[in-house]
């Protein structure tokens, strides 16, 4: 088992192994990284919802200009010494685009997957990679890619 603190470094190493230096990742590369990242086990993630993945997209307004963000998140629960929930650590791979009329009309989507949910990870990943948003984004110019880890 790995430390949750190492999750960002592991994700970065997986990404660096697939993406040429200095280039933003493609959707296929991000999906491959998520596939490679899923089997890695982290300390303290034994509960039913302690280790999950999120696929989401929506317009966000916390940047200087409106942004349409599409991303995958791995959420890992952090517990205290008594085993009680303390917080979550999220490793985020996010593609960011300028908002336009078409993206604004798409709206938003949030789809979770947890180990305890009964759905195989590969089936969940396949379903979210079939989302129509990927076709829409083929015509859009990527503004920024972010790989980060944060506590929530």
pLDDT by residue (tens digit) across 103-120?
999 999 999 999 888 999
Whether this model's pTM surpasses 0.85:
yes
Q: Tell me how far apart the alpha carbons of residues 148 and 32 are, in angstroms, rounded to a whole number.
A: 17
pLDDT by residue (tens digit) across 64-79?
899 999 999 999 999 8
Q: What residues does each domain of the chain span?
A: 4-151
pLDDT by residue (tens digit) across 78-99?
988 888 888 999 999 999 999 9
Number of residues that make up the chain: 152
Mean pLDDT of the chain: 93
Residue 131 confidence (pLDDT): 96
Q: Per-residue pLDDT averaged across 43-55, rounded?
A: 85
Range 112-145 burial, b when 16+ CB lie within 10 A, else e = ebbbeeeeebeebbeebeebebeebbeeeeebeb
> Residue 102 above 90 pLDDT?
yes
Beta carbons within 8 Å of 93's beta carbon, 6+ residues apart: 11, 15, 25, 30, 33, 34, 71, 72, 73, 145, 146, 147
Q: Per-residue pLDDT averaged across 131-138, rounded?
A: 94
> Residue 45 above 80 pLDDT?
no
pLDDT by residue (tens digit) across 6-22?
999 999 999 999 998 88
């Amino acid at each position: 088992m790995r430390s949750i603190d190492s999750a960002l470094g592991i994700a970065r190493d997986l990404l660096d192994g697939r993406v040429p230096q200095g280039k933003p990742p493609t959707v296929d590369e991000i999906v491959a990284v998520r596939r490679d990242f899923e089997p890695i086990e982290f300390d303290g993630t034994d509960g039913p919802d302690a280790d999950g993945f999120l696929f989401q997209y929506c317009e966000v307004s916390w940047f200087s200009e409106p942004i349409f963000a599409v991303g995958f998140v791995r959420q890992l629960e952090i517990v205290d010494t008594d085993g009680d929930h303390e917080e979550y650590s999220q490793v985020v791979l996010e593609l960011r685009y300028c908002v336009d009329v078409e993206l604004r009309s798409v709206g938003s989507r949030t789809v979770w997957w947890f180990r305890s949910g009964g759905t195989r990870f590969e089936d969940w990943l396949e379903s979210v990679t079939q989302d129509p948003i990927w076709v829409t984004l083929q015509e859009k110019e990527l503004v920024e890619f972010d790989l980060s880890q944060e506590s929530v």
